[in-house]
Amino acid sequence: MAAVPIVALRVSQLDAAELDHEIELLTKTQLTKLFKYQQTNFLANYEAEINAGIKLLIWKFSLNAIESTLGQAMLNLKYRNETIPANQGPWISSRQKILYACLFIGCPWLKDRSHDLIELFGMSKWKDKIDRMIKWLETGFKLATLINFLVFLCKGSYLTLLERLVGIRSVFPHKQGMRQVTFEYMTRELLWHGFSELLFFIVPLVNFQRIKNFVIQKLLSSSASKSSQMLPAERNLTSCAICSDWPIRAQEIGCHHVFCHYCIHSNYAADPSFACPICTYRVNNIENIRPVSIINNGDNDDDNDDVDDS
């Protein structure tokens, strides 16, 4: 004796519908990537046909083959024919499969191509009336969909209006085992949520730039002083002491090193005790940060000699 199907849970039906929608979007995304570098309007001009083709392809290898959508197959659901008793007849008949395809694929395509079909059949003079009728039909369909969804929430059957019109219902084909409900996952999520909230509160209060400068000054002071003693007396104007790149709007603080305007001001704003990371010379006051002044006496003397010779 064949087992009587069990009515599917509401959450399982909703999850299956969401999975079907995501599969359709993923398929369309992969198709769009094929024409990513094509300088044509093929996808825009034939979007209705492409959507219908994708739905037809999914219908062919899902509902037509295994009596369930791909989302239902993932959740172990199946469509059953509600027009006959549960213990008599097949799951879903061939007539219902074709009717489902016509409503699921054909109706959206007709809606998208309604204006083109009006011009094709020479009904332009009734265009306004047809558009008004389509608008009323669409509004009525949305209202009926809302009512059907409210009924589904109450009774748990016929998630979509399409299922109600075709006469098919999502069920579990086999008896389901006991659901082992534990709170390990919920406990882990609550702990992680509390930890993340704590981090979001504490991290903005920590001055990481000041900690970094403290490490450089205290732990690397000896190596920095040794390296500064080995540096030449002339100033290096081609490298920022903080980012090591070409200094933008070069600034100085009183030592032999130069800094980018943003580097020195941002570091001093984050840490008033900021010191040069190479020679550990402290800024002490924001007035000590000033544009670099270049005075080359040797060049001036040479220029004066050239002027005298002339």
| Mean pLDDT confidence for 124-142 | 85
Alpha helices by DSSP H, 62-93: 63-66, 70-74
pLDDT for the residue 3: 57
Note the pLDDT of residue 220: 59
Token code pair at residue 46 = 């034939």
AA identity, residue 37? Y
* The predicted structure's pLDDT at residue 302: 46
| CB crowding 165-204: b at 16 or more within 10 Å, else e | ebbbbbbbbeeeeeeeeeeeeeeeeeeeeeeeeeeeeeee
Average pLDDT over residues 2-20: 81
Best CA proximity match to 286, nearest among 298, 272, 303, 300: 272
> Would you state the pLDDT for residue 191?
86
What is the tens place of the pLDDT at every residue in 135-191? 898 899 889 989 999 998 888 888 888 888 888 888 887 776 555 556 677 788 788
Give yes or no for a contact between 130 and 113, defined as CB atoms under 8 angstroms apart: no
Q: Give the pLDDT of residue 309.
A: 44
The mean pLDDT of 264-278, rounded to a whole number, is 79
Sorted by sequence, the CB contacts under 8 Å of residue 55 that are 6+ apart come out as 24, 104, 105, 108
pLDDT confidence of residue 64: 85
Q: Is the pTM of this model over 0.85?
A: no
Q: Which of 126, 205, 169 is nearest to 13 (CA)?
A: 169
When pLDDT is averaged across residues 90-108 and rounded to a whole number, the result is: 85
Checking if the pLDDT of 225 tops 80, the result is no
Going by C-alpha positions, the residue among 103, 112, 216 that lies closest to residue 160 is: 103
Lowest mean pLDDT among 66-75, 76-85, 163-172: 76-85
Tokens at 101, concatenated: 């395809």
Mean pLDDT, rounded, of the chain? 77
| C-alpha closest to that of 245 among 233, 258, 232 | 258
CA gap 90, 182 in Å, rounded:
37
Amino acid in the structure at residue 124: S
Judge whether residue 298 has pLDDT over 70. no
**Cα-based angle 112, 116, 121 (whole degrees, multiple of 5):** 130
Q: What is the mean pLDDT of residues 2-30?
A: 83
Q: Which of 71-80, 245-254, 266-275 has the highest mean pLDDT?
A: 71-80
Share of the chain above pLDDT 70, in %: 80
Domains of the chain from N-terminus onward: 6-172 (no CATH), 208-294 (3.30.40.10)
Per DSSP, the chain holds a count of helices (H) and strands (E) of 15, 5
Q: Best-predicted range by mean pLDDT among 179-183, 217-221, 224-228, 245-249?
A: 245-249
Predicted pLDDT at 231:
47
Q: What's the rounded mean pLDDT across residues 90-98?
A: 83
Query: 290 - beta bridge partners?
Result: 252
Residue 169 vs residue 6, higher pLDDT: 169
pLDDT of residue 63: 86
What pLDDT shows up at residue 32?
Answer: 83
